[in-house]
């Protein structure tokens, strides 16, 4: 063993069925406060081809904007049974689905608030490093003042905006490369 970080490697194609908790798509059991939402995240490669062997994870605050984590020391309610973590494989249509609650706003370190968002980790065969992005909710008035979106080229902000479809599902295409490449974050 040597000093330094353990390097990242691809998840590969064969985690499903062997990675024990490879599905945790329903985050909010009955009784969890907030607006119920469904998410459908669809993964595309640089040529637009659907990626059917990916794994998506989400991490979010609850409806009060509180993260279930000791680093969030604010006096806001925690919901029993709501951890805020989800994990789902993409299917033959490249889509991973989650049922959760709409998160509340969370603070920005320099003051003010961030618009409600869901943090996403993308893993797939051929992806050597975890790709981190965010989902925001199209039409949310808080988007205009969001300090993270302000760091993003205005022409690319729409890659982070989930849109509500006719069935009420929030849909977000995630493009790893290509003309509609999703904005990924390095934090």
Partner 1 sequence: MAQDLYRRPAPGQHPPHRVDAYKSTPNRSPRKPAVVLPQTLSEITGPLLRGERLGAEENDLTRQRMGPPLGERIVVHGRVLDEDGKPVPDALVEIWQCNAAGRYHHPGDQHYAPLDPNFHGGGRARADSDGAYQFVTIKPGAYPWKNHHNAWRPAHIHFSLFGPAFATRLITQMYFPNDPLLAIDPIYNSVPEAARPRLQAAFDLGATRPEWALAYRFDIVLRGRNATPMEDEHG
Chain residues binding Fe ion by CB under 5 A are 12
Whose Cβ is closer to partner 1: residue 67's or residue 170's? Answer: 67
Residue 2 Cβ vs Fe ion, minimum distance, rounded to whole Å? 23
> Taking CB within 5 to 8 Å according to partner kind, which of partner 1, Fe ion, none is near residue 98?
none
Residues 6 or more apart whose CB falls under 8 angstroms from that of 78 comprise 62, 66, 68
Regarding beta strands 36-44 and 170-175, do their DSSP bridges make them parallel or antiparallel, or are they unpaired? parallel
Torsion-angle region of 111 (φ positive above 0: left; ψ -120 to 50: alpha; else: beta): left
Residue 98 Cβ vs partner 1, minimum distance, rounded to whole Å? 14
Whose Cβ is closer to partner 1: residue 48's or residue 165's? Answer: 48
Residue 80 Cβ vs partner 1, minimum distance, rounded to whole Å? 10
CA separation for the pair 66, 61 (Å, rounded): 5
> Taking CB within 5 to 8 Å according to partner kind, which of partner 1, Fe ion, none is near residue 84?
partner 1
What are the two backbone dihedrals, phi and then psi, of residue 73, each rounded to the nearest 5 degrees? -100, 15
C-alpha radius of gyration, the chain, whole number: 17
Residue 142 Cβ vs partner 1, minimum distance, rounded to whole Å? 14
> Taking CB within 5 to 8 Å according to partner kind, which of partner 1, Fe ion, none is near residue 135?
none
What letters, b where the CB count within 10 A reaches 16 and e where it falls short, cover 101-121? bbbbbbeeeeeeebbbbbbbe
Whose Cβ is closer to Fe ion: residue 13's or residue 81's? Answer: 13
Closest-by-Cβ residue to Fe ion is 12
Residue 185 Cβ vs partner 1, minimum distance, rounded to whole Å? 4
> Taking CB within 5 to 8 Å according to partner kind, which of partner 1, Fe ion, none is near residue 126?
partner 1
Enter the tokens of residue 3: 């000093």
Enter the tokens of residue 126: 């051929």
């Amino acid at each position: 063993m040597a000093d330094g970080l353990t390097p990242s490697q691809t998840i590969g194609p064969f985690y499903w069925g062997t990675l024990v908790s490879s599905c945790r798509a329903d985050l909010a059991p009955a009784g969890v406060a907030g607006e119920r939402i469904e998410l459908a995240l669809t993964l595309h490669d640089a040529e637009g081809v659907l990626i059917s062997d990916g794994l998506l994870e989400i991490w979010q605050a609850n409806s009060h904007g509180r993260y279930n984590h000791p680093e969030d020391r604010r006096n806001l309610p925690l919901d029993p049974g709501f951890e805020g973590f989800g994990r789902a494989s993409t299917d033959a249509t490249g889509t991973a689905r989650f049922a959760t609650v709409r998160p509340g706003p969370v603070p920005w370190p320099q003051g003010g608030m961030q618009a409600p968002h869901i943090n996403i980790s993308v893993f797939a065969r051929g992806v050597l490093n975890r790709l981190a992005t965010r989902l925001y909710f199209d039409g949310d008035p808080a988007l205009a003042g969001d300090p993270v979106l302000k760091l993003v080229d205005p022409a690319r902000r729409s890659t982070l905006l989930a849109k509500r479809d006719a069935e009420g599902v929030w849909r977000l295409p995630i493009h790893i490369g290509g003309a509609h490449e999703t904005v990924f974050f390095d934090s």
